Chain A
């Protein structure tokens, strides 16, 4: 989100004081969380048209008719759960956490469902790929019609913030 904002997009989000809400042993992203607390309802499109919004993937099915550019950011589901565990120790994230156990299945069906709509264009990026090669990945967004400055967006990728990287085989 921070990279896309640097690339020229305007985000809409709720300020979260991470130093207050995070547990003592959690090191919050010092650059912000970009948490969106608004509702995805019938007025969502007209309210946030032109804005950059971060949504949990299960809310994407609720998007009302509009004209959307969507980037689906994939990440190793075990890393997502590790991050959840660090953020709220011993407390489940409910359905958002359940989805991580059916990650590819859910993602593929979701993409198929969203692809049926003519008002949504989808670009899929991978979190690890962005960290490894931000210019290449953000260029995919430009190719998909996103009006961002790749160099500015890429310059803000900070590999040190990829703290819950798990070894994959």
Chain B
């Protein structure tokens, strides 16, 4: 598990703030440079390091899981593709809903109606979790 984020260098040059941070899991050390050219809160670097630690440990857990190396059947792959498509359509629908509420379009928009029909037709019980 990655637990340490040691800041090795912080430089402000050419309008860019760069912080070099080392991460380690006790065996391996990796270095990442965080950059910004915008005003940030005092906790900016701490937050970036914290997010990176979360990512590293989630990737480490994934690498150690049984899913890695699994060979999907054509049927399983097709199901994954369909689910991904549904997820993307649902995200588009959510943007439509937001646009409707903002007054940019209405529920009578043909694209909105078509997308709603598509999501209704393609719905499967295993997609409940996508909502």
Chain A residues with a Cβ under 8 A of chain B: 58, 61, 85, 90-92, 94-95, 97-99, 101-102, 105-106, 109-110, 112-113
Contact = CB atoms under 8 A, between A and B. Distances in A.
A101 B109 CA distance: 14
B19 interface: no
Given A61-B129, A92-B98, A113-B128, A102 B103 contact: no
B101 A101 contact: no
Given A102-B119, A102-B120, A95 B94 contact: yes
A61 B128 contact: yes
Given A90-B103, A92-B98, A102-B119, A110 B93 contact: no
A109 B101 contact: no
A102 B123 contact: yes
Interface in B88-128: 90, 93-94, 97-98, 100-103, 116, 119-120, 123, 125, 128
B123 A98 contact: no
Contacts of B119: 102
A105 B123 contact: yes
B97 A97 contact: yes
Given A92-B98, A92-B100, A106-B131, 17 more contacts: A61-B129, A90-B101, A90-B103, A91-B102, A92-B94, A92-B97, A94-B94, A97-B97, A98-B93, A98-B94, A98-B131, A102-B131, A106-B128, A109-B125, A109-B128, A112-B125, A113-B128
Q: Is the interface of B mostly helix, strand, loop or mixed?
A: helix
Nearest to A97: B97
A92 B98 CA distance: 5
A91 B97 contact: no
Interface of B: 90, 93-94, 97-98, 100-103, 116, 119-120, 123, 125, 128-129, 131
Nearest to A89: B101
Contact of B120 (A85, A90, A94, A105): A105
Contacts of B120: 102, 105
Contacts of A110: 128
B116 A95 contact: no
B101 A95 contact: no
A101 to B, nearest CB: 6
Contacts of B116: 101-102
B2 to A, nearest CB: 24
B101 A92 contact: yes
A90 B102 CA distance: 5
A95 B131 contact: yes
A91 B101 contact: yes
